């Protein structure tokens, strides 16, 4: 377990900022205590200082998870967000997508979102902007990337993909063994 390097933080924050923009600051600079990101087994965990203290006593190999996992660095150095980060992304989300009840299940099974399943959509969403996916009751279901800008969404076919699936809460069941 170690803090992120400059490079890593850069990539990590770049990824995060696609979803929550400058709200990352709220994650770093919290009023209710000091929190930090830690890299462990190529995964980035977000934890409080207390947790860090406790976790630092554990041996590296034995430590499965600490705090909440935000995602992992791939071998090529990219960063992938995990569903477990949803709890932190959702409240700060800049761009949101609301799913119709009919499309909810599809999304939760890991499918992309078609326009027909789109209930609402934040205006001014650009293409490839990270979006948080909610159902109509404002329950965060997951997140993804906007395949089309809002303007393009207006005119496009109902069967066109609007949001690329990245992570959804269904993964807690599907990827139970790999999620940390």
Partner 1 sequence: MMSEILSKRLYIGGLSESVSESELLERFSRFGNVSDVSLKTRVDENGAPLKSFAHLNLQSDEASIKKCFNTYQNAKWKGSVMKLQYAKESILERLQKEREENALAEAKLSKPQAEKSSTPEIVTTAKGVPGTPVPGKKDWVVGKYGRAVPVMKLKKSYKVPMVKHDPSKYCHTAKVFKDEVQDSTLGNSCTKLTWEINKPDSEITKKRKGEYPENSQPLKKKTVGSLDSGGKSEKNSLFSFSEDLKNKQKAFLPSHRDDDLEFVKIGAVTKRPRVLSSADTSNKFDSDIESEPEAMSPSVAKQKNSVTGPLGKPKTSKEPSESGPKKSQQIQTKPTEPENGRKDLSKSLTTKQNQANDSFSYNRLGIPEFKGLSMLAGLVQPTAVSENKGTDKIVSTKLAQVSTSEEEKPKLAKASLPNGHFNSKLRSSNKKSLEPDANSFTESSIIANRVQDITIATPAPFSSRGEDYSFKTSTPNVPSEPVNKDTTQMSDESKSFKLIPEFKGLGMLSDYKVDDNKKSSDLKSPQKLESDTAIIESVSQSKESPLLSGIKLQQQQENPKTLKSPKDIRLSLNNKENSKKRKVPTGRGDQASNSDSDSSANTDEIIVRHKKQKTSDSVVLSKPEPVVAQSEIKSKGEVSVDRNSVMSEFISGVDEFDACPSAAPARKVSEDDSYDSDLDSNDFALVAKKLRQKAFLSKQGGVQKLNSNDKKRKDSSTQREPLSSARETKELAKSHMTDLQSKLVKIAGTEKEPTGESGNVKQEKIKHLSEKEKHKAANEKRLEAVKQQAKQRQQQQQLMQQALRSVDSQENNKKRIVFDSSDDDNENEDRPKDNVPLATEKISNPAEGKNQEISGPSLFASSDDDESDEDNFDEMFKSKPQFEGKKGEKLLKLENRIADKRFTLDAKFADSDSDEEEDNDKDQAEASDASEDAGRDTKVSADADLTSKLKEEKSSNLKVLEDVVGKSTLDRFSDKISRNTKKIIDMNSVRFDPTKMNVSSAPPKTKKKKEKAEKVAAPPAASKEQQGETPESKDVKKEKKKSKKTEDGEVAEVATPNKVDSDEDPSKDEAESKDKSTKQKEEKSVSKIDDPDSKKKTNVELSSTLLDMFKTKAEQKEDKGATFSLTQQFGEADSDEDSVEQDGEDRAKGSGLSQVEKDKSMTKSAAETKRDAVSEKKKNEEGEEKDAVGRDQEMPSDSDLSSDEGEKEEDVEESKKSTSSSKVKPRNGIDDDLQEAGKLDIRFTSEKWLEQWDALRQNIIKIYKKKHKDALKKKRIHGETKRKKEFLKNSRKPGKKQGAFKKR
Structure token pair of residue 139: 């329950």
Given candidates 95, 129, 141, 142, which one binds partner 1 under the rule CB under 8 A? Answer: 95
- Scored b (16 or more CB within 10 A) or e, 20-58 reads beebbeebeeeeeeebbbbbbeebbbbbeeebbeebeee
| 134, 140 contact by CB (below 8 A) | yes
Shortest Å distance, C-beta 177 to partner 1: 25
**Is there binding between residue 1 and partner 1 (CB under 8 A)?**
no
Given candidates 40, 72, 82, 94, which one binds partner 1 under the rule CB under 8 A? Answer: 94
Shortest Å distance, C-beta 95 to partner 1: 7
CA separation for the pair 155, 168 (Å, rounded): 27
What residues numbered 64-93 form the site for partner 1, per CB under 8 A? 87, 91-93
What residues numbered 106-165 form the site for partner 1, per CB under 8 A? 115-116, 118-124, 138, 150, 153-155, 157-159
Size of the site for partner 1 (CB under 8 A): 53
Q: Closer to partner 1 by CB, 32 or 178: give it.
A: 32
CA 176 to chain centre: 17
CA separation for the pair 139, 133 (Å, rounded): 8
Q: How many residues does the chain have?
A: 180
**Is there binding between residue 63 and partner 1 (CB under 8 A)?**
no
Half-sphere exposure of 65 (CA within 13 A, CB side): 11
Residue 81 forms beta bridges with which residues?
71
The site for partner 1 (CB under 8 A) is made up of: 3, 6, 9-10, 13-14, 17, 21-26, 28-34, 36-37, 49-50, 52-53, 57, 87, 91-96, 98, 100, 115-116, 118-124, 138, 150, 153-155, 157-159
């Amino acid at each position: 377990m170690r803090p992120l390097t400059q490079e890593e933080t850069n990539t990590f924050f770049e990824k995060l900022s696609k979803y929550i923009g400058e709200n990352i600051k709220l994650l770093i600079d919290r009023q209710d205590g000091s929190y930090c990101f830690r890299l462990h087994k190529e995964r980035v965990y977000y934890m409080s200082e207390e947790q860090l203290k406790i976790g630092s006593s554990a041996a590296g190999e034995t430590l499965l998870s600490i705090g909440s996992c935000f995602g992992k660095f791939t071998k090529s150095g990219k960063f992938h967000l995990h569903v477990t980060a949803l709890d932190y992304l959702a409240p700060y989300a800049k761009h949101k997508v609301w799913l119709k009840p009919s499309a909810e299940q599809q999304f939760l099974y890991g499918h992309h979102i078609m326009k027909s399943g789109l209930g609402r959509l934040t205006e001014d969403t650009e293409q490839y902007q990270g979006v948080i996916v909610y159902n109509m009751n404002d329950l965060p279901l997951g997140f993804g990337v906007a395949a089309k800008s809002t303007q393009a969404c207006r005119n496009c076919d109902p069967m066109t993909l609007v949001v690329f699936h990245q992570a959804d809460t269904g993964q807690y069941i599907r990827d139970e063994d790999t999620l940390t």
